[in-house]
Homo-oligomer: A and B are copies of this chain.
């Protein structure tokens, strides 16, 4: 089926159909510029993560402001990014299965592609796919620096994999993937710093070990929105992989920033616009944004505006707003903005971004409608 557009450029905010995924263009552009300024002032490169936005339009904006490339998590995402004009992609993930590997290797004929690996048989399979398509694939070794997800142990195990990549004629050793995913969401800034510094320490030892065996890590990548200043300060990491900084979400807003951090200068730029579809009781407003419009894995959305109005329940197609003070709930038919708990899986539920200029002004209007081009790119 052809997807239905929630709005046309030029429409006032009030005319946007709901539930819709909204970008506050002013806040979004400011977030992009702040990160570009930060990266410009430090000895670090930005390889922004496209898993957050799934949009080649946004990826190209990031690169126009200095990002040297992007990260993807899936081959199908990378295909869509390359088709959309992005020429440098690191798949910051392991790719398994011959169909995906063939597509990855084929893509390396069109753009600069790198990928991660954490086991010998995957390296072997990557090499076979690269040979089949006549390309030389850049492969990073992923090390587990504390997240407990993918990645070999730092040190000797990583060295073994780096060697296997280095000696393979169709592969090129590209460096280390050292991303500490779970550290991003540690609330306390000192605890987050500690976890990230442990990751830096493990990465540094591994880089040194590899160097002592003649293996240079061209890319030492990691650093999400919650921690990238610490990886930058390490003087070791050379690529940041932050994604959420462009939008921010309610979960990231719960992090406490360290003093002097630029983290707090990023502002919410992603919202769900929703309509009050029922006011069945004095203290209950039902909105049309449910589980199919906003992901609740990191908690319920937060209502913009009066902090006393709370999003307290959600089901497939409905959200329930309540307030302790009667009379402050939005009325029947009113539209309001809510901040998603977690931006990435929320974006992945929508076909379009409705990009609004002057969101907080009387002249708020739709400036553009961008497809979430890689929505559902699971493979």
Contacts and interface: CB of A to CB of B under 8 A. Distances in A.
A277 B293 CA distance: 29
Contacts of A227: none
A17 B100 contact: yes
Nearest to A15: B99
A280 B151 contact: yes
5 contacts: A1-B371, A51-B316, A119-B280, A149-B278, A150-B318
> What is the count of identical protomers in the complex?
2
Contacts of A93: 277, 317
B349 A119 contact: no
Interface string A247-287: 00000000000000000000000000001111110001010
A327 interface: no
A108 interface: no
A377 B316 CA distance: 12
B280 A152 contact: yes
A297 B313 CA distance: 11
A104 to B, nearest CB: 13
A3 interface: yes
Interface stretch (A34-42, A73-81, A129-137): A73-81
Interface of A: 1, 3-4, 6, 17-20, 51, 73-74, 76, 80, 83, 93-97, 99-100, 118-119, 121-122, 144, 148-153, 181, 275-280, 284, 286, 288, 291-293, 295-297, 313-318, 320, 332-333, 342, 344-345, 348-351, 371, 373-379
A151 B314 CA distance: 16
Contacts of A97: 17-18, 275, 333
Given A122-B332, A349-B349, 6 more contacts: A1-B373, A3-B376, A19-B378, A20-B378, A73-B317, A121-B332
